[in-house]
Structures are given as C-alpha cells and as structure tokens.
Structure 1
Amino acid sequence: MRQERNNIFVGIDWLLVILFIILVSFGWMNIYAASKSNEEFELLNFSTKYGKQSIFILLTIPLIVLILFFNSKFYEKFASILYVISLLSLLGLFIFGKEINGARSWYNFGVLGLQPSEFVKAFTALAVAKLLSDRQYNLKLIKNQVKAFIIIFTPALLITLQPDAGSALIYLAFFFVLNREGLTLNYILFGSLAIVLFILSILLGHMWVLFGMLIILSLITSYIIYKGDKIFLRFNWPYIIIAYSAVILFIFGTNFAYNNIFKQHHRDRFEVLLGLKTDNKNIGYNSYQSELTISSGGVNGKGFLNGDITKGDFVPEQHTDYIFSTVGEEWGFLGSSIVILLFMLMLYRIIYLSDTHSNKFGRIYGYGVASIFLFHIIVNIGMVIGLLPTVGIPLPFFSYGGSSLWGFTILLFIFIRLDAHKKYDW
C-alpha cells in the first residue's frame, strides 16, 4: 500500500489520458497544417507556430507530473488560496500586463507570453467546488446564491475590464454546475429569455418587441382575472407590476446598451450573423472564409496538408480561434465528426466519473470541468461555422497557444488526480 501511495500514476483514468493525447496530437497536426510555410520542417523551431506548439506540448509533461504529484486533498484544502492567487494574477495585469490588440490580457516574459485568464478557470472551479461541498451549504438560500455568484463573477468582471469579453463569457458555464447542485432553473430560463428578447430587439426593433411582450403579459393577467383567481391577484399584484416594469426596463436597457455601449464592430457582427446585412469583405470576412473553408472539405476532406484555402492563408488567425476550419477542409465532414465525438466521449467520461465520485468536492469540480469544456467547444465551433458571433474563445487542445493548452491541461488533470483519490484511500 505504501508503494502504491508513492506511485503518482496509480488510480488515474487512462481513458481520459488517452483522449487527451489524441486530441492534443491531432490539434498539433492541424496547427502545423495552418501555419506551415515552404521552409524546411523543424519540430522544435521556436520561430514557427508549430515549433512553439511542440515545445508547449512537451512542457505539459512536467506540468502533468506536478499536478499528479500533489495529493488530491491538497486541491481541496488550498482551493481558496489558489483562487485568490489567480485573482491577484488578473489584477496584476492592469499594472504589469502587456497590451495586445487593445486588451491588457498578457504577461510578457521575453519570447514567452502568459494569459492568466486561461488558468483562472480551473481555480474558480476549485473554489466553487470548495464552497458548494460544505454540508451545510444550501443553494436555495439567497445569501448562499450571492456567495456563489461573487466567486464566479469576480474573475469574469476582471477579465471583462481588460477588456476580453469572450473569455469572461465562459463563466456562464458555472450556472450548469449550480443548477446541478440545487440552484433553481429559473436563472437559466430567465437568462435564455433575455437572450431571445435581445435578439428579437435587434431583428424587429425594441418598440415592436416591447409591444409584443406587453400584449403577452396582458393576456396572462386577463386570463387570471377571467378564471376569477382573486386571491392570486390580491397577494401577487406587486409581482405582476414588477414583471411589467422588468420587461420595459430590460428592453429599453438592451436597446441603450446596443446603440451606446456596444462598439460599431460588435453591432456589425450581430447584424451580419442575424442576416440583417451582408459584409463578406470586412467585419464578416473571417466567418465567411471559415465557412467557405469548411464546406470545401466535403465529406472526406482534401487530405492532410492538401487544403488549398488553408495554404493560401485566407482565414485570419486560422491557427488559433479558427483552427476547426482546417479540420473541416483537410479532414472533411467525417474527420470533423470524429473530433466532435472524441470531445463528447471526453465530456461523457468526466460526467460519468463525477457522478460516481464519493467525495462531493470532486464531483462538483468534475461538473465544472465538463461545463467549461462544453461551453468552449459549442461556442468555438458555433463561431467557426457561422452560427455564433466571433468572440475569441479557443478550441480546447486544438487552438494554438501555450496558455490555452496549459490551462486546459491543468483543468483536466486536477480532475484526474481527484478521480484517482476515490479509488484509493490516500
């Protein structure tokens, strides 16, 4: 038993490790295809994108060993401290961060840059798991909900201020975790309703949407009166007034935000996405070229390194946020489907292991990991195929970048370490 305790690989889920290796390897192949030029192939050439990614991948090995070295109880005991340190790393950006493309999101260490927001997700998931795993914690209480929201939205706010709204959106994924642990579904329903009203306001105009919503609320109120539910009206009329007021304020508020807070390129992206305007040369160029690149791959794809659109460098930043377009062109519908199936298998495995976890902390952290991965996969692929606006969210293990790769590696392998704990009494 003592020998097993000294073996950091005992009890780990090898299926997740194998899926990790497959996804990272296939991701590197597509980065190579998207960034290859005519120069001679050099695996560890730091001047090329694929060479840098090779080094980033090699550095995940000591990172994984370090994560597995710590006892699983370490992550539960020091979850709060790790979370606070991650927040300090975000705050430090406003003083020491390097501004790139208008956002102060990076620390610059010579040839190496680190983006703290990629690592904060894992430590926020640990902090949420630590909070919710308390036996006395009841998410039905408003004060407990507020505590959870503070933990989740504090890093989201700091990331938004950089500004990096795309990375901040990821924290909405934690609502699935909270719902799984007892938070009412109303938050997700109200959020979905808000998104629908926002989209309808852009498509139809805010006055038409307001008029329609007031008619719907009036019909509901009239039906209650018709049914003679006087007790309901007597005790709940303040809620009816609040409902009317909330709808009016929200619709006028979204209209104000859209026209006065959103920048023109943000409005253009929404309008191109919703079909209100066509702009394949400027704001809609990335999405148009990405869709064209994917569709050109057909069913079987053009073959590895045979993507002529990829070779022509027609898709800006194809090796990062738009890497899935390379998959679509060179590997086709079948290859793209296999990638998605591999991701779904990884998510299913994480959720399955979480459900069978005897420790509440490990279970909740597993839900957080699955939710973050799912959010990234849906938003990134949806963006690349033109179903969602461009928000700058990487595809796990595929998009180029050391921070992204290491952030997802930390997220996954902490869960693998926690999962190993349930099999062996450490």
Structure 2
Amino acid sequence: MKNQSVSNNIDWLTVLLYSILVVMGWMTIYSASLPTETTSIFDLSQIYGKQLLFILVTIPLIFVVLTVDAKIYEKYALIFYGASIVLLAGLFVFGKTIKGQTNWYSFGSFGLQPSEFAKIATALVLAKFLSDVQISLKNTQHQLIAFGIIALPVMLIMMQPDAGSAMIFAALILALYRDGLPSWYLWTGVIAIVLFFASLFLRLPFILLIVLGVMLIHYFLSRRAHRNPILYTLLFIAIAGFTYSTGFVYDNVLEPHQKDRIDVLFGEEVNQQAEGYNLNQSLIAIGSGGWTGKGYLEGTQTKGGFVPEQHTDYIFTTVGEEWGFSGAILVIGIFVTLFIRIIYLAERQKSSFSRTYGYCVASILFMHFFVNIAMLIRLFPTIGVPLPFFSYGGSSLFAFTILLFIFIKLDANKVNEW
C-alpha cells in the first residue's frame, strides 16, 4: 500500500485534546506566577515567559516526531533505552543537586531532567520486547525480563533519590497486564499497599484477624475441587510476616520527610506550618473556589503566594480556586477523554508494538494525572510529580509531548502496516 501523507491519517481529536490541555496549562501557570507589575508574556525572566518558550519549541519538536519514519521508533528502541540509562547514570558525575536530589543537568538558567525521557525509552523498549511473537508473559522468564527493563531505570532514579519519578514506572505494569501478565501480580501489589498503610495505624492482631477471616471465607466458598490448605497456610504466614515488617520499614527505611507525608495523609498530628503546610494550603485554595471559582486571575490564595510550588506540582490548586469545582471537573474530563481516546486507538492498532506502546502512554499519563491530583485532595501521600501538559517545566512538557506524539505517529502509520 502506498505511503500517504501523515497529516491525512493523524488522529486530530487527540491533537486537539493535547492542545487544549497545553493552552489551559499555560493560562494557569500565567495566573500562578503573574508578578505585581505585569510584563510581556514573552518575558523570559518570568516563569510564564519561559513556559511559553517551551510551548513554542514543542511545535518543531512535534513536526520532527511526526516526520520521522515510524519504524525508527521500534528499530532503535534499544538504543534510545541505552542512551536514557547513560544519561541517568551520568547524573552522579555531572548532575546538579537541588533540594537533596541529583536529578538535573544544568545549562545556565535551563535544566534537563533525564528521568522524564527515560519513561519514553522504557515504554519503547518494553513494547519492542513484548511485540516478539515468541514472547509470552505467561512465561516466568519473560516476566522477569520485562520487570528488569522497568527496574533498571527505577533503581538509578531511586539513587538520585527521586521516589516520585521512580514510582511512575509502576504504571507500566498496567500495560504488561494488557499483554497477558497474570492478574495476581496486580492483586498482590494492591493488597501489599493496603496492608502497609493499615499496619501503620491499626493494631496488627486486628489486621491479621481480618485477613484470616477473608482467607477462610475464600477457602470454603472457592469452587475449586482441590483446595490446598497448605498453600493457604503459607500465604497467611507470608502476609503476617509482611505486616509485622512494615513497622521496621517505616522506622528505619523511610526518610523523615516521607514519614511526615504519610502522617499528613492519615491526619496524624503534624506541624501545620512545616510538613503539613503544603497540603493544608492546597486544600484551602481548592475549597475556596466553590462551585464556579473566584474568576481567572482573581484567586486570593494564588495571588498571595500561600501555596508553595504552585506553578509546578501544585498547579491544580489554581484551577480549583479560580475555576471552581465546575472548572476542575472540566479539566479532569478532558484528561479522562484523552486517556480513553489513547486506549481506543491502541486497541485498533494492527501491530502489537504500537498497541503495547499506546497502553504504556496511557498508563504513564494516567499515573501522573492521578497522583498529582490525588495528593492535593488528601487521597495520596504528597509526591513531587508534574501534572501532564499543565505543570511548569521544559523537560516534562517535551517528554510528555514526545511520548504522546510518537504514538500519534504510530497510529497514523497503521494504514501502511498491511
């Protein structure tokens, strides 16, 4: 089949949703960083001026991504992955340390965060690995290789240390699940998280009594003819051991600021002028917006600078204050529509590489979206991750743009995959 113009095959709905989010993001950054004396929107000494420059740079960046042969992304996936690992490792020699984290390369007043681009490379190489017809995630060896692909950049990022960026890679498990990863991996992860937090604030015997009750119910109601009581016993012992170990992990492994964030999440007594300040101020800002908001550029919490880092990790508080509940729901609705659209496009791909990569894109963007907003409304511990297309930053905007438009290119190219 002859090649057709890429522009004829691009999914313009996805491009439109992306464009709307980027424009709304810049408007929000402008409001959150507007100085007392208004200057030009192109003023590069201001945050909104730099972000506008970043947005303009994405235009030729998108053009390059869309004009490159789609097969390049699959053919050189391993090279992209290797380059991202080298960049991550290079931080320990050439990186700049900011607030105890060495996760940036500094170039004058601009910086580059390689962990953002490592997500793209990991998604590409994971999709390439899983697209092999001989690969099956029912095979334990293949599972270990897939987990290893994810684990390598995660270990380097954790050493920076940047737990927020490292945690985002866990979203790729969702893409693995779509490709046949046994569901017990997901259930194990969910149960482990629930037990960890429950054991910090509930009596351990009470937790184990509940676990024992659930396991007994499952045992007697199971439809399997040959239930193995030894397996259930070993599983209960493993759960009990994990539950009793959480106290040690909390006291001896987690950093003080990480423990503070967990305490804040569960309403423990904390200093509202210290570790509890950011969350408390974000809740005040979002709550003060009411149903319709105070109006664009009229947020008193935003203008007063009461919410720290409001143009980055806490950007959604400006949406809540100035646009209100209705505006916040609109933004969330646009994000959800984008996620659904990506999954829809992924399912109609003719190659397994494109399909798997599409699910990786949806998973990464969703994890950023969920964690960023959930932490602001006390549903998740405070972790520094940007809101896609909204939060200030060149690295995150470029990475999210490349991540999404590679998939748009793959989707546009599917007519040539016959």
TM-score w.r.t. length of structure 2 = 0.95
Task: Show the counterpart of 2:344.
Answer: 352
Structure 1 residue ranges, 4+ long, deviating more than 3 angstroms after superposition? 205-208, 210-217, 229-233
Alignment match of 2:142 (pick from 136, 144, 147): 144
Separation (CA, whole Å) in 1 of partners of 2:227 and 2:409: 53
Tell me the percent identity: 50
User: How many residue pairs are counted as aligned between the two chains?
Assistant: 417
Task: Name the structure 2 match of 1:57.
Answer: 55
Alpha-carbon separation, structure 2, partners of 1:171 and 1:242: 30
Q: CA deviation at 1:65?
A: 1.1
Q: Tell me whether 1:252 sits opposite 2:222 in the alignment.
A: no
Aligned to 1:328: 320
- Deviations, residues 236-259 of structure 1 (Å, cap 9, x unaligned): 62x344313312321122211101
- What CA distance in whole angstroms lies between the structure 1 residues aligned with 2:37 and 2:115? 34
1:316 alignment partner in structure 2? 308
Residue 423 of structure 1 pairs with residue 394 of structure 2: no
Q: Quick one: distance in 2 between partners of 1:20 and 1:336?
A: 17
Query: Does the 8 Å contact 1:11/1:424 carry over to 2?
Result: no
| Other-structure match for 2:117 | 119
Shift of 1:216: 5.4
Q: CA deviation at 1:135?
A: 0.8
Return 172-181 or 275-284, whichever deviates more. Answer: 275-284
How has the CA–CA distance of structure 1 residues 231 and 364 changed in structure 2, closer, same or farther, with 3 Å as cutoff?
Answer: closer
C-alpha separation in 1, matches of 2:170 and 2:313:
19
Residue 52 of structure 1 aligns with an amino acid whose one-letter code is K
Distance 1:52 1:371 in 2: 28
Deviation at 1:210, TM superposition (A): 4.1
Structure 2 CA distance for partners of 1:231 and 1:348, relative to 1, 3 Å:
closer
Say whether the 8 Å CA contact 1:272–1:279 is kept in structure 2. Answer: no
For residues 232 and 305 of structure 1, do their structure 2 counterparts lie closer, same or farther at Cα, with a shift above 3 Å needed?
A: closer
> Structure 1 residue 157 and structure 2 residue 155: aligned?
yes
Amino acid corresponding to residue 61 of structure 1 in structure 2: I
Quote how far apart the aligned CAs of 1:265 are.
Answer: 2.3
Aligned counterparts, 1:43-192, within 5 A = 43-192=41-190
Paired residue secondary structure (2:104):
strand
Amino acid at match of 1:85: A
Identify the residue that residue 202 of structure 1 maps to in structure 2: 200
Counterpart Cα distance in 2 of 1:75 and 1:215: 50
Q: CA deviation at 1:205?
A: 3.9
Secondary structure of 1:136 counterpart: coil
Distance 2:166 2:131 in 1: 24
SS in 1 for 2:369: helix
TM-score (norm 1): 0.93
Distance in 1 separating the partners of 2:226 and 2:183? 26
- Inter-partner Cα distance in structure 1 for 2:174 and 2:44: 40
Q: CA deviation at 1:207?
A: 4.9
Q: 1: CA distance between counterparts of 2:118 and 2:161?
A: 16
Contact 2:84 2:117 in 1 (8 A): yes
SS at match of 2:103: strand
Give SS of 2:8's match: coil
Task: For 1:241 and 1:338, locate their aligned partners in 2 and report how far apart those are by CA, in whole Å.
Answer: 49
Q: Which amino acid aligns with 1:367?
A: Y
Q: Which amino acid aligns with 1:159?
A: I
Rate the CA distance shift 1:280–1:241 in 2: closer, same or farther, 3 A. same
Does residue 269 in structure 1 map to residue 261 in structure 2? yes
CA distances 1:336-376 after superposition (whole Å, capped 9, x unpaired): 11111111111111111111111111011001101111111
CA contact (8 A) 1:24 1:397 kept: yes
User: Which residue of 394, 412, 419 corresponds with 2:404?
Assistant: 412
Any idea what SS the aligned residue of 1:300 has? coil
RMSD (Å), alpha carbons:
2.1
Q: Which residue of 1 aligns with 2:14?
A: 16
Structure 1 Cα separation of the partners of residues 203 and 129 of structure 2: 42
- 1:252-401 matched pairs, under 5 angstroms: 252-401=244-393
Partners of 2:19 and 2:264 in 1: CA distance? 37
Report how far residue 424 of structure 1 moved. 3.8
Query: What residue ranges of structure 1 are gaps of 5+ in the alignment?
Result: none
Using the alignment, how far apart are the partners of 2:405 and 2:415 within structure 1? 16
Task: Tell me by how many angstroms 1:282 deviates.
Answer: 1.5
Partner amino acid, structure 2, of 1:57: I
More deviation, 380-389/324-333: 380-389
Q: Structure 2 counterpart of 1:49, which letter?
A: I
SS at 1:137's partner residue? Answer: coil
Deviation at 1:172, TM superposition (A): 1.1
Tell me how far apart the structure 1 counterparts of residues 203 and 92 of structure 2 sit (CA, whole Å). Answer: 38
Residue 232 of structure 1, CA deviation? 4.4
By how many angstroms is 1:423 displaced? 2.6
Instruction: Tell me the alpha carbon deviations over residues 121-142 of structure 1, each in whole angstroms, 9 at most, x when there is no partner.
Output: 1111111110111111110010
Larger deviation: 25-34 or 41-50?
41-50
Q: Residues 81 and 296 from structure 1, CA distance in 2 versus in 1: closer, same or farther, beyond 3 angstroms?
A: same
Instruction: Give the whole-Å Cα distance in 1 for the aligned partners of 2:353 and 2:322.
Output: 42
SS at structure 1 position matched to 2:180: coil
> Structure 2 counterpart of 1:266, which letter?
Q
Aligned-partner Cα distance in 1 for 2:148–2:185: 15
Equivalent AA in structure 2 for residue 144 of structure 1: H
Change (3 A) 1:37 1:230: closer
Whole-angstrom distance in 1 between the partners of 2:240 and 2:289: 47
